[in-house]
Structure 1
Amino acid sequence: MSSSTIDYLNNLSKQLNIYLSSFFYIFGNISTSLCLLMFISMKRFRKNPSSTYLLSSSLSGFVLINTSYLTRVFLPNFIFDPSTTSLIWCKLRQYIGHLSSLIFLYCISWAMMDQYLSTSKKVRLRQFSTVKIARRLVSLTFLFSFIHSIPLIIYNEINMSTITNIRSCVITNNLIYRNYVTYFVIPFVLGIFPTFLMIIFAILSYANINYLHQRQMRTQVQHQLTRMVSAQTFFVIIGMIAYTAQTIYNLVTTSTLKSPPFVLGIFPTFLMIIFAILSYANINYLHQRQMRTQVQHQLTRMVSAQTFFVIIGMIAYTAQTIYNLVTTSTLKSPLRQAQENVALTITGVLAYTGYVFNFYIYIFVSPTLRKHFKELIQKFLYYCTCHFIRNNRTQPTHITQNNLQLDGK
C-alpha cells in the first residue's frame, strides 16, 4: 500500500509539473508579449510613471520565462536540460534568471510605491511620482541587479552528485557565497523584502484611496453646485445685458436718468462674465486632471491586482524556501519525500503566477486597456483581410499573363 502510494504521488508530481509548467510557459509568453505591445502603443499610459515600472517588469518577466523558467522548470520534464551539459549556459541561466527576477520583483514594488505617492494628499510626496524619477529608479534597479548577479557567472559550475550520479548546475567554488545566496538572497532579497514592500505600500495606498474617495464625493456635490450656479448666472447675464442696454438707450435718448446704469447693470454683469470665464478655465483644467485621474485610477487597479498575485507567488516561494532550509538535515522517509515533491511542484509553479498572468489581470480590471486591445485586434484583422483580398486580386492577373506568354510561345 505504501509503495503504491509513493508511486502514485511521484507520478502525480511529474504529471502536474508537465501540464502546469506547459500551461504557464505558453500563456506566460502570450501575456508578457501582449503587455509589451500594449504599454508601448498606448500613449495615455506612457506619460504615467507606473507604466514605466510595469513595462520594465513585463520585459524582465518575458526574459525570465524564456531563460530561467524554460530550462529550470519546463525542459527538464522532457529530459532535456542544457544547463547540465553546457557550462556557458549554466552560468548564463543563473545570471539572467537572477537579474530578471530582481528587476521584476522590485519594479512591481516601485509601481506599488508610486501608487502611494501619486494618491498621497501631500503635495511634496506627489512630486516624487514622475516619469523622470521612475526611469532613474528603473535604471538604478537594473544596475544593482546587474552587479549583484555577476558572482553567479563566476561561481556556478556543473556538478556531478556522488549519490545520485545526476548532473546539476550549482554554486560549488565558494562556500561563503553559496551560504550567502542560500540563507540571505533567496529567502530575503527574492522573497521577504519585496513582499514586505508590496504589502506596506499596498496598505498605505489603500488608506490614500479611501481619502480620495471621500474627497471625490465632495467634488461631485461641488460639481452639481457649479452647474446650478453657472446655469443661473447665464440667465441672469442675459437679463442684465437687456437691462443695461435699455438703460444706456434711455441715457442716450433722454436727458433724465431714471436708474443708475453702472451699479445695477454694468458692474454686476462685468463681474459675472469675468468670473464665468475664470470658472470655465478652471473647469477645463479640472476636466483634464480628471482624465489623468481616470488613467491613474485604472493603473492603481492594475498594479494592485498584479501585486496581489505576485504576493501569493512570493509567499509560496518563500514558504518553500524556508521549509527546504529547515528540513535540509532531516531524515525523510520515501513517502514523505513523495508528498513533499507534490507540494513543492505546486508551490514552485505558483511562484511564477505574477510573471504569467499580468496581461490577463490588466485586461480584467482596466476598461481602457480592453478597449485598446479590441482596437488592435480590429486593425490586425483589417490588415489581414486587406492583404488576403489584395493577394487574391493580383494572383489571377499573374496567372493570366503567364498563360498568355505560354500561348504565345
Structure 2
Amino acid sequence: MSATIISTFNHATSYSNIGGGFFIFLAGMIGNILNIIVFTSLKTFRQTSAAFYMTSASFVNIFQLVVGLLSRILITGYNIDPTKTSSFICKARQFTLITTMLMAFSCMCLAAIDQYLSLTHPWRHLCTVKAASRFIIAIFVVWILHGITLFIYSDVISIEGTGQTTCGLLNTGFSIYYSRFLFPVLLGVLPLIIRVSFGILAFVTVQRLSKREVPVVRLERDKQLTTMVLVEVAVDVVLTLPYSIYNHWYSGSVTFNDSVSSAVNQFIIALTRVVFYGNFAVAFYIYYCVSSRFRKQLAYVLVQMHLRYWPDHELKFIREKIIQQIANYRLIMLFFK
C-alpha cells in the first residue's frame, strides 16, 4: 500500500515539475514579450514611470524563467544537472537565479511605490522616466554586487556518506543568511509588505482624487494603473506565501522519517515551487483582465501597428509579379518580331 502511495506522489511530483513547469514557462515567455511590446510601442506607456518599472520587470522575468524555471525543469524533471559537475555553472546559476529574482521583485516594489508617489503632489517629481531609470540602474548595481557573494560561496560540494555531489554553499554563515533571511524575507514577506502597503495607499489616494476636480484622462489612467498594480500584488501574495511558508519555515524544521511523508514533502515542495514561479509569468494576464485600457492598446499594437505591414508586403509582392510578367511579355514580343 505504501509503495503505491509513494509511486503516486512521485508521479505527481514529476508531473508538477515537467507539466506545470513548462506551462508556466511558455505562458510567462509569451506574456512578458507581449508586455514589452505594449509598453515600448506606445507613447502613453513610454512616458509613464510605473510602466517603465513594469517593462523592466518583464525583461528580468524572461531571464528568470530561462535561468531559474527552465533549468529547474531539466534538473528535477529530467535529471539533467550540470551544476553537480561544473563549478562555474553552479556559481553562474546561483548568481543569475537569485540576482534576477531580487531585481524582479525590486521592480515590482518600485512600481507600487511609484504609483502612490505619482498621486501625491510633494513627491510627484520623482515619478518620471528619467528618475525611474536611475533608480533601476542603482538597484540593479546593488543586487549585482550582492550576487558576487553568491558567486564566491557557491560551489560543487560532496554529500557525506553518499558519494554524490551537489551545488551548495561553502560558508556556514552565508548559508544561514541564505536560508533564514534571503529567501524568506528578501524574496518572501518583505516585497509583499512593501507592495501591499503602497498598493493600498495608492488605491485610497485614487478614490480621494476621484472626488476632486482632476482631469478625466489622467484620473482614468491612474485608476487603471493602480488597479493593475494592486491586483498583481494580491495574486503574488497567493503565489508567494505557500512557497515561503512551507519551504523556508516549515519543512526546514521538520524531519521526515518514513518514505511516504518524504514523498509527500517532495510533492508539496515541487508544487509550491512551480506556483512561486508564477510570479514571473502572470503579470500580462492580470493587466489584460483588469485594465480595459491595456486591452485596447494591446489590440492597437498587434492589429494596427504590427500587423499593418502585411498588406503592404502583399501589394509590393503583387506589384513586382505584375512588373515581371509585363517584362516577360515584352521579351516574348521582341523575340517573335
- Pairing 1:293–2:219 present: yes
Q: What are structure 1's unaligned runs of at least 5 residues?
A: 220-285
- Pairing 1:194–2:191 present: yes
Report matched runs for 1:214-363 at 5 Å.
215-216=211-212, 219=213, 289-319=215-245, 320-327=247-254, 330-363=255-288
Distance in 1, Cα, partners of 2:47 & 2:308: 29
Distance in 2, Cα, partners of 1:32 & 1:98: 19
Does the CA contact (< 8 Å) of 1:22 and 1:74 recur in 2?
A: no
CA distance change for structure 1 residues 362 and 74 in 2, over 3 Å: closer, same or farther? farther
Match among 118, 122, 125 for residue 124 of structure 1: 122
- The secondary structure found in structure 2 opposite 1:381 is coil
Could you tell me which amino acid in structure 1 is paired with residue 231 of structure 2? A
Does the CA contact (< 8 Å) of 1:71 and 1:83 recur in 2?
A: no
Distance in 2, Cα, partners of 1:392 & 1:20: 46
CA distance change for structure 1 residues 3 and 400 in 2, over 3 Å: closer, same or farther? farther
CA distance change for structure 1 residues 399 and 91 in 2, over 3 Å: closer, same or farther? farther
Distance in 1, Cα, partners of 2:57 & 2:108: 7
TM-score normalized by the length of structure 2: 0.88
Q: Note the C-alpha offset of 1:378.
A: 1.7
Distance in 1, Cα, partners of 2:130 & 2:319: 51
Match of 1:161 in 2: 159
Deviation string for 1:292-338 (max 9, x for gaps)? Answer: 222222211111122222222221221122123222xx242111111
Q: Note the C-alpha offset of 1:45.
A: 1.7
Does the CA contact (< 8 Å) of 1:9 and 1:342 recur in 2?
A: yes
- The secondary structure found in structure 1 opposite 2:308 is helix
Does the CA contact (< 8 Å) of 2:74 and 2:81 recur in 1?
A: no
Deviation string for 1:63-107 (max 9, x for gaps)? Answer: 111112221235541332333343322211111111111111121
Could you tell me which amino acid in structure 2 is paired with residue 142 of structure 1? F
- The secondary structure found in structure 1 opposite 2:167 is strand
Q: What are structure 2's unaligned runs of at least 5 residues?
A: none
Distance in 1, Cα, partners of 2:322 & 2:266: 61
Match of 2:300 in 1: 375
Report matched runs for 1:83-232 at 5 Å.
83-120=83-120, 123-172=121-170, 174-213=171-210, 215-216=211-212, 219=213
Does the CA contact (< 8 Å) of 2:243 and 2:269 recur in 1?
A: no
- The secondary structure found in structure 1 opposite 2:262 is helix
Does the CA contact (< 8 Å) of 1:109 and 1:198 recur in 2?
A: yes
Does the CA contact (< 8 Å) of 1:92 and 1:153 recur in 2?
A: yes
Match of 1:66 in 2: 66
Distance in 2, Cα, partners of 1:189 & 1:74: 26
CA distance change for structure 1 residues 399 and 340 in 2, over 3 Å: closer, same or farther? farther
- The secondary structure found in structure 2 opposite 1:352 is helix
Deviation string for 1:140-190 (max 9, x for gaps)? Answer: 211111111111111211234345554422112x22222221221111111
CA distance change for structure 1 residues 84 and 392 in 2, over 3 Å: closer, same or farther? farther
Of the two, which has the highest radius of gyration?
Answer: 1
Could you tell me which amino acid in structure 2 is paired with residue 291 of structure 1? V
CA distance change for structure 1 residues 359 and 331 in 2, over 3 Å: closer, same or farther? closer
Deviation string for 1:172-212 (max 9, x for gaps)? Answer: 2x222222212211111111211111122223223323323
Could you tell me which amino acid in structure 2 is paired with residue 316 of structure 1? P
Moved more, 360-369 or 72-81: 72-81
- The secondary structure found in structure 2 opposite 1:22 is helix
- The secondary structure found in structure 1 opposite 2:127 is coil
Match of 2:34 in 1: 34
Distance in 2, Cα, partners of 1:332 & 1:396: 79
- The secondary structure found in structure 1 opposite 2:80 is coil
Distance in 2, Cα, partners of 1:383 & 1:85: 49
Match of 2:289 in 1: 364
Distance in 2, Cα, partners of 1:395 & 1:165: 69
Distance in 2, Cα, partners of 1:395 & 1:76: 54
- The secondary structure found in structure 1 opposite 2:156 is strand
Does the CA contact (< 8 Å) of 1:68 and 1:94 recur in 2?
A: no
Distance in 2, Cα, partners of 1:184 & 1:161: 24
- The secondary structure found in structure 2 opposite 1:133 is helix
Deviation string for 1:188-243 (max 9, x for gaps)? Answer: 11112111111222232233233234x15xx4xxxxxxxxxxxxxxxxxxxxxxxx
Distance in 2, Cα, partners of 1:74 & 1:209: 45
Could you tell me which amino acid in structure 2 is paired with residue 161 of structure 1? I
Q: Note the C-alpha offset of 1:19.
A: 0.7
Does the CA contact (< 8 Å) of 2:94 and 2:150 recur in 1?
A: yes
Distance in 2, Cα, partners of 1:210 & 1:374: 28
RMSD: 2.6
Does the CA contact (< 8 Å) of 2:103 and 2:143 recur in 1?
A: yes
CA distance change for structure 1 residues 393 and 83 in 2, over 3 Å: closer, same or farther? farther
